[in-house]
């Protein structure tokens, strides 16, 4: 499964445009007073201005080369603060069952970002980490009212496979290339971040299993495409 595009809402268009364009050095593809977008590898992130006084925030992750975590940390530290574990103060997280390591950080709007090195992908590279090593959207967090109901719908209707989780409060669905991180509303985002809230979210995925369209009353929209 590949996450081709995510469309997120924000109350801080200009601050985020500066962060992604000038701090993380990503190429801003399109911009206006109401929105901007940027590419990471073969995926696209778009932010649109939120309505009223809403202050949306999301969790999303990017794949990086599986041997680049130390170099990525060195690259990130002058640019932003890394989120530390509440248990031992480390800023590097070992997901043994996923065979992956990652780091977490915030953007100015409180979005919880993650760089994850998935060793099963065998996509190591030489040289020091740069913004060009941010490969693609790896995960998108989807807070819902019922994890089991929503993950069951994704599996039964669209053929998205289960990857990890208890399917009660947390379920990861997809594969190492792209994952839905499904959590119950109110569950704290890992590692020690604010409680998940539901905000409008649009996702386009390439799954090669089925085509279709899902939307609901919360503003969640998913486009399932084979190309």
Domain ranges of the chain: 2-225
Residue that is written with structure tokens 């993950």 in the block: 151
Q: Which helix (H) or strand (E) holds 150?
A: helix 147-158
How many Å apart are CA 164 and CA 37, to the nearest integer?
30
Domain covering 2-225, topology: 2,3-Dihydroxybiphenyl 1,2-Dioxygenase; domain 1 (3.10.180)
Q: Name residues of the chain where pLDDT drops below 70.
A: 209, 227
pLDDT 10s digits, 149-176: 999 999 999 999 999 999 999 999 999 9
Omega before 114 cis (within 30°)? no
**Tokens standing for residue 94:** 């070992």
How many Å apart are CA 220 and CA 105, to the nearest integer?
24
How much is the pTM?
0.96
3-state helix, strand, coil split of the chain in percent (to 5) is 20, 40, 40
**Confidence at residue 29, expressed as pLDDT on a 0 to 100 scale:** 93
């Amino acid at each position: 499964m590949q996450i081709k595009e995510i469309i997120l809402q924000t109350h801080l268009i200009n601050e985020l445009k500066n962060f992604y364009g000038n701090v993380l050095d990503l190429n801003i593809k399109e911009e206006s007073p109401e929105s901007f977008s940027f590419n990471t590898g073969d995926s696209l992130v778009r932010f649109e201005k939120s309505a009223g006084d809403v202050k949306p925030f999301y969790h999303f992750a990017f794949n990086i080369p599986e041997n680049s975590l130390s170099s990525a940390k060195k690259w990130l530290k002058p640019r932003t603060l890394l989120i530390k574990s509440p248990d031992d103060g480390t800023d590097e997280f070992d997901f043994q069952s996923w065979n992956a390591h990652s780091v977490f950080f915030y953007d100015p709007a409180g979005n919880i970002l993650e760089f994850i090195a998935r060793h099963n992908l065998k996509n190591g590279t030489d040289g020091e980490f740069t913004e060009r090593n941010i490969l693609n959207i790896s995960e998108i967090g989807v807070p819902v009212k019922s994890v089991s109901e929503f993950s069951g719908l994704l599996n039964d209707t669209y053929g998205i496979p289960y990857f990890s989780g208890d399917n009660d409060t947390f379920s990861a669905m997809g594969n190492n290339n792209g994952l839905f991180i499904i959590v119950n509303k109110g569950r704290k985002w890992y590692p020690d971040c604010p409680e998940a809230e539901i905000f409008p979210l649009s996702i386009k995925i390439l799954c090669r299993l089925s085509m279709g369209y899902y939307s609901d009353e919360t503003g969640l929209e998913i486009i399932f495409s084979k190309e």
